[in-house]
Amino acid sequence: MTLVLVNISLGALCVFGLLFIMAPNALAAEKDELASAQNLLIQVQSAIERARIAAGQDQIEPHQRYFFDYPRATTDLDAIHTGIDRYLQPSRAQPRVYSGITGIYRAEKIPE
């Protein structure tokens, strides 16, 4: 019975240790993938701009019923790119470790 408990505890400790070791790697992998997604978004934005120029769609003709909304697509891609950028590089410092408060606010006046 003791051997089984030792094996379970050792197994749990190994799993916890692996999670502790792997967590920074997972975060780095996420940031790498998001940076890759940003590069792909830049390529998509370039392709959309080339398509807009090729279509000659600077102004929508009144008789056209359907058209691709290039400005809206560009705005949406910019919003996605900005969101990823804000996540990867926050504009403010990350929260510091909480140092606690004393809770003691009464002080004695020193006699003169």
Q: For residues 45 and 74, is the Cβ–Cβ distance under 8 A?
A: yes
Burial class (CB in 10 A: 0-12, 13-18, 19+), 70: middle
Residue spans of the chain under pLDDT 50: 3-5
Distance of CA 41 to the CA centre of its chain: 15
Residue 22 region by backbone torsions, left for phi larger than 0, else alpha for psi between -120 and 50, else beta: alpha
Gyration radius of the chain over CA positions: 28
Can you tell me the distance from the alpha carbon of 70 to that of 63, in angstroms, rounded to the nearest whole number? 18
Instruction: Read off the pLDDT of residues 25-49 as tens digits, 9 standing for 90 and up.
Output: 767 888 999 999 999 999 999 999 9
Tokens of 43: 């390529």
